Structure 1
Amino acid sequence: MSQLLRLFLAIALGLASLVHSYSDPGSCTGACWAHDPSIIQRASDGKYFKFNTGTGIEIATADSLAGPWTLQGYVLASGSSIDNPGKNDPWAPDVHLVGEEYYLYYAVSEFGSQVSAIGLATSPTMQPGTWTDQGGVGVVSKKGQAYNAIDPNLVAVGSDYYLNFGSFWGDIYQVKLNSAATKATSAATHNIEYDSAGTRPCEGSYMFFYNNYYYLLWSHGICCGYDKTLPAPGDEYRIMMCRSKTATGGFLDQNGVACTASGGSILLESHGSVYGPGGQGVFTDSSKELVLYYHYANKSIGLGDGDYRFGWNVLNWSTDGWPQV
């Protein structure tokens, strides 16, 4: 092999390592278990709240993203009022401040089922015991529909509200909500992300606005059960992204491929001891930095669902305006 060819290969490998180089998750102490976490910082005192899928939706608080996190209780300790299978184990919380009240959207379903519904709980403070279950928001699915009504995410566009949702089947959909963000305005939904390949394992969408673009994130791949069956390399959870000038469609990836035509660029994937990152969201910290948060399996701790960890990173930005970890 010539010296020139060796130099070329070294440069190529170096560039490849840069492309796939990620920052490690920020530190976490205390109650750091997470599954589909939702993070919000309370404006009145700066306290951080972390909500997790599982047992009535866990509530943990901390004075810093790094913790120590303390488990405080549950949002729906007695389960949801939605009469669906899985009502005692609501999933995928998504928390926002709407007006002067905190809204937490959640899903009621069972693993692998399309019999699903999205509900809403509200609270003035987010403390345990202050949450009121408002029941369903009018977004439901049943066997044979184009979508699965789980993994809700609220998006505010001026005075309008939209709810993104979906998992497998037709992937990610969107519906417009009323002015109070409590009910769907109609049964009309539209597809904003679709991957035609394989079993279409796209779910857990999250949308945020930054520098004139709406960024759509979602989790792609197999989420769970890594301790029982390890997916083929690359088939585990990873975080994908597209962006658009509008919140309601036209999302493209970094190569200009439509998000509804199997497009999508990788924001974060397995690296080092981090395995299967997903269930993500983004929020603006009090420092005005955009923070990506997610759950992941730490290979040095364990791959079981009960071992998943809370991960977070301050986002950096490329010269062409794409987020980087």
Structure 2
Amino acid sequence: MRTSIITSVLSAVTAVYGYADPMACTGVCTNAHDPALIRRDDGTYYRFSTGGKIAIHSAPSITGPWTYKGAAIPAGSKINLKGKDDLWAPDVTKVADTYYLYYSVSSFGVQDSAIGVATSTNLDTWTDHGATGIASSAGKNYNAIDGALYWDGSKFVMSFGSFWSDIFSVGMANPPLNTSGSATTPIAFKPEGEHAQEGAFIAKNGNYHYLFFSVGKCCGFDANRPAKGAEYKIQVCRSTSATGGFVDQAGKKCTEGGGTTVLESHGFVYGPGGQGVFYDPKLGPVLYYHYVDTRIGYADGQKKFGVNAINFSSGWPVV
């Protein structure tokens, strides 16, 4: 009876807001900008985030208690660009017995950017290898940040990009320390406004590859909040190929502005984004992301770690 009551209450809350609230989080739940999530074989969860030369947190459960473990790349990146000591947007993947941590070297508003990689066998200590071969400079139609590795069943693909002409993909070698070639493929673009689209992450479910991404204004909400609806939110397109043909739920091409909203501001949750998808052995697929908890504050350093279960039963992810 108690379970039925709780389920009914949660259903009512979801009906009001349109989205379920994030799962409970304990320990260090802030310091979570652009999170990357993985679970070690012993059951320990690890979270990596922008800043602090890629901050590491670990926990016995996906909901915590999260503990700060230090910097993944304490000496800064080998990539000699401005921003080598302020690394962004980590992505972590296990390939065979090795963990690969991708990160961005850049600074706000410029295209002098590159995606680097570090490796580890335990998630605690990392060896920086520097450049992956994905880089950009003024005049290119993309910005080389927000890399996320994906295995499509036959090859490694890296999605990346932010603003300019938005999101692209490039093939990666096996093992995925470097690109397998120089050709890049556009996979998503918002033609309107500032082309504010970034943080791509591809996940497989059923017969489809789902391209999740963030759109809107990401940062500095404590100083200047955008018009309602223009803040960060999470959208998705899908395709039977991991390298193109993505469309939203209405059939609009992702390269022509398509995108079905998965999660946006609601209740105390403001500006969710910087997302990824993790297949948890107990919970199934979950969406993880950062968000502003309006009950705490709007500063970038106060952004919290959010996790929600995803239901794909309709063919589209529902939080």
With normalisation by structure 2, the TM-score equals 0.94
Aligned to 2:213: 218
1:155 corresponds, among 150, 155, 159, to: 150
1:260 aligned counterpart, secondary structure: helix
1:158 aligned counterpart, secondary structure: coil
User: May I ask how many residue pairs the two structures share in their alignment?
Assistant: 305
5+ residue gaps in structure 1? 1-16
1:134 pairs with 2:132: no
Q: Give, in angstroms, the shift of residue 316 of structure 1.
A: 1.6
Structure 2 CA distance, aligned partners of 1:179 and 1:71?
A: 32
2:180 aligned counterpart, secondary structure: coil
Conserved? CA contact 2:89–2:146, under 8 Å: yes
Q: C-alpha deviations, 1:134-182, integer Å up to 9, x for none?
A: 1100000001100000000001022410110000001000000112111
Q: Give, in angstroms, the shift of residue 286 of structure 1.
A: 1.7
RMSD: 1.1
Alignment of 1:1-325 (within 5 A): 18=15, 21-33=18-30, 34-43=32-41, 45-127=42-124, 130-287=125-282, 289-319=284-314, 321-325=315-319
Query: Counterpart of 2:78 in structure 1: which amino acid?
Result: S
Identity across the alignment (%): 50
Q: Which has the larger radius of gyration?
A: 1
Q: C-alpha deviations, 1:205-240, integer Å up to 9, x for none?
A: 100000110000000000000010010011100001
Conserved? CA contact 1:46–1:286, under 8 Å: no
Structure 2 CA distance, aligned partners of 1:286 and 1:18?
A: 28
Structure 2 CA distance, aligned partners of 1:323 and 1:211?
A: 12
Conserved? CA contact 1:41–1:47, under 8 Å: yes
2:75 aligned counterpart, secondary structure: coil
5+ residue gaps in structure 2? 1-13
Which deviates more, 285-294 or 189-198? 285-294
Shift of the 166–19 alpha-carbon distance from structure 1 to 2, 3 Å rule, reads farther
After the TM superposition, list the runs of 4 or more consecutive aligned residues in structure 1 that deviate by more than 6 angstroms. none
Conserved? CA contact 1:22–1:268, under 8 Å: yes
Structure 2 CA distance, aligned partners of 1:262 and 1:52?
A: 28
Structure 2 CA distance, aligned partners of 1:185 and 1:213?
A: 24
Conserved? CA contact 2:17–2:267, under 8 Å: no
Q: C-alpha deviations, 1:279-308, integer Å up to 9, x for none?
A: 000011121600100000011100111110
